Amino acid sequence: MIIEKDELTIYDVETLHKELIKEFDNGAILVDMLNVHKIDMSVIQLFVSAQKSSLEASKSFALKNVDQEVANILKQTACEFLLGVDNG
């Protein structure tokens, strides 16, 4: 799943949630964040929930091509575990 927007906010959560559910139904969730340079806490919460659901279903969840600014936001919010090992 490729995110085309450069910023993800609470206004994107509903659409993003629906897209994540489709990915989840197909198996693993891989979110390509190449274009994203800013996220807010509502999106982080959605990603944490998606990761938890994936773990419970024995599926994988990963963020790919995470911008350094976004990685810093995740670290500041103690959610760097979302970065996994594939960081670009």
Per-residue pLDDT tens over the stretch 7-59:
999 999 999 999 999 999 888 899 999 999 999 999 999 999 999 999 999 99
3 state DSSP class of 8: strand
pLDDT recorded at residue 83: 83
pLDDT recorded at residue 64: 93
pLDDT recorded at residue 86: 44
Its pTM stands at: 0.89
Q: Which residue has 């919460």 as its token pair?
A: 45
pLDDT recorded at residue 87: 42
**Domains of the chain and any CATH numbers:** 7-83 (3.30.750.24)
